[in-house]
């Protein structure tokens, strides 16, 4: 039983990594760049309702009954959920936070405080 548990955890970890790496890039791009959102949102809206386990038959035909098809089923499930959650998280950040670090105004020396009082 411990061996089976270890194999399952290994499959989950590899599938999570395969699905999580692209989700960060695509989720951030969708949240920050409107053209990326406009081009990918219809694709996600069409593919998200499809049960991902239904792709298992197609993956078995392409990759066989090995570990690869099992990793990809987990990666596909993780990819869609985490991409949409990353997009929603980035989209919820106020735009003023992004603009806040871009402009640096010099502070005149007389506005910085009284240097003599600190000594």
User: What is the model's pLDDT at position 119?
Assistant: 47
User: What is the model's pLDDT at position 106?
Assistant: 65
Q: How confident is the model at residue 66 (pLDDT cuts 50, 70, 90)?
A: confident
What value does the mean pLDDT of the chain take? 82
Q: How confident is the model over 79-105, as a mean pLDDT?
A: 78
CA dist 71 and 48 (Å) reads 19
Percent of the chain with pLDDT over 70: 82
CA dist 78 and 20 (Å) reads 7
Q: How confident is the model over 38-57, as a mean pLDDT?
A: 86
CA dist 115 and 107 (Å) reads 14
């Amino acid at each position: 039983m411990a061996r089976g548990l270890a194999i399952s955890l290994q499959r989950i970890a590899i599938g999570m990594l395969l699905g999580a790496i692209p989700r960060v890039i695509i989720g951030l791009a969708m949240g920050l760049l409107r053209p990326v959102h406009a081009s990918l949102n219809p694709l996600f809206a069409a593919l998200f309702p499809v049960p991902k386990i239904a792709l298992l038959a197609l993956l078995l035909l392409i990759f066989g009954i090995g570990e690869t098809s099992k990793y990809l089923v987990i990666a596909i499930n993780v990819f869609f959920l985490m991409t949409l959650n990353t997009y929603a998280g980035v989209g919820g950040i106020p735009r003023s936070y992004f603009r806040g670090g871009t402009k640096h105004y010099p502070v005149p020396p007389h506005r910085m405080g009284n240097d003599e009082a600190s000594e």
